Amino acid sequence: MGKPLLAVREPAAAAVTVTDAAVVTRATVDPAGEVFAGHYPGFPILPGVLLVDAVGRAAACWAEAHRLGRLRLAEVRSARFLAPVFPGDELTTECTVSRLDGGGIEVRGVCSTARGRAARVTVRCAAPEPA
């Protein structure tokens, strides 16, 4: 079996907390993730796009818990990367969720490690487009 491509494992059910307007997830950054071979050799850090993905995954957990069905990432409204995330870190993603007209949601997330905030990300999720 090869190395996992995604460096951030799916959060276990016990590592997800959902409330009416928020979701918190915790997951370990897998040191064996293939992404670290090229980002960056000798100084591996988690690519920022995977922090955006972590907010999207947290949004999916919230939507599932609130029976909204499967939502798609429709827009990255903002992303600010504040500090590196390293292999082996526990990544905590804390998000506030607002419902939007038309059934979508806006998610404002903060990704952090034991060293502090690593990113602030705001995304919009919407229902899947019809086939």
Give the helix/strand (H/E) hosting 75.
strand 72-81
Q: What residue numbers bound the domain in which 93 lies?
A: 13-126
Residue 79 lies in a domain: yes
CA gap 130, 119 in Å, rounded? 32
The predicted structure's pLDDT at residue 94? 98
Domain assignment present for 4 = no
**Is 5 a domain residue?**
no
Domain membership of residue 33 (yes or no) is: yes
Query: For residue 62, is it within any domain?
Result: yes
Asked if residue 8 belongs to a domain, the reply is no
Q: Which residues pair with 117 in a beta bridge?
A: 112
The catalytically annotated residue of 22, 26, 28, 39 is: 39
Q: What is the pLDDT of residue 3?
A: 41
39 is catalytic: yes
Residue 94, domain member (yes or no): yes
Flag residues of the chain having pLDDT under 70.
1-14, 131
Q: Write out the two tokens for 26.
A: 């915790």
**Dihedral over Cα of 38, 43, 48, 51: its sign:** positive
Query: What is the predicted pLDDT for the residue at 1?
Result: 38
The domain spanning residue 104 has which CATH number? Answer: 3.10.129.10
| Number of folded domains that form the chain | 1
pLDDT at 69: 86
For residue 17, the Cα-to-chain-centroid distance in whole angstroms is 14
